[in-house]
Each structure stands twice: as C-alpha cells, then as structure tokens.
Amino acid sequence: MKKTLAILALAVVGLTTAHAGVNIGINLGIPVPSPTLVAPAPVFVQPPMPAPVVETVPLCPTPGYIWVGGTWGWHDNRWVWTRGHWGPPVHWERVTHWDHGYHGQRHEGFHGEHGRR
C-alpha cells in the first residue's frame, strides 16, 4: 500500500508539473535587420536637342509685330517643337515707387518675351 501511495503521489506531482512550465525570456530590443535589395539608380541620359525646324513665316497680321521663331523644349521626357508666332514688340514698363522716403523709378521687368527679329 505504501508503494501504491508513493506511485500515486509521484504521478500527481508529475502531472501538475508537466503543465506548469516556467518561462524565462530576455528581450534586448535589438532589431533584426531585414534583407535589403540594393539596385543601382537608373541612369538617364537626355538625348541632344534636334536641329531647328525650318518654318515658313506667314504674313504679319498687325503692323509692328515681330516674328518669334519656334524652339525645342523638353516635355514628358521627350523633345517637343513649339511653332513660331507673331508677337507684339518688346517694351519696358516703368513703375513709380516710394522707397524709404525717396520718390524714384525702376524698371519692373522685361515684357513680351521677345526681342529678336
């Protein structure tokens, strides 16, 4: 009977300790680096500007206007031709201003975006 009690006691202790595990963990907060894929940056080489387009100049619509020739411009990753047009003559606008108690004039800017015939 003593043997049976001893076996039964050991069985009970064994069952209770089997599910009552002890966990010990240490967290150092060191992030584990994720693998990174490094690709070379794309190299973009802009093609050279094409030769100017030869345009036929139409008759001047208004006396005194000047012909502004067409130009190439870079737009949406390609060269785009802007046609020439007739434009008004260039003029400077004078603006009268008050500057620290002194009355004077200054050139406000270049208007017309033209200048060559």
- pLDDT per residue as tens digits for the range 22-46: 667 776 777 777 778 788 888 878 8
- pLDDT per residue as tens digits for the range 53-97: 999 999 999 899 999 999 999 999 899 999 999 999 876 665 555
Q: How far is CA 57 from CA 68, 71, 86, in A?
A: 10, 14, 9
pTM of the predicted model as reported, rounded to 2 decimal places: 0.42
Inform me whether the pLDDT recorded for 5 exceeds 70: no
Residues belonging to the chain: 117
Q: Where are the alpha helices (DSSP H) in 1-97?
A: 2-19
Enter the tokens of residue 39: 């690709």
Q: So what's the pLDDT on residue 101?
A: 56
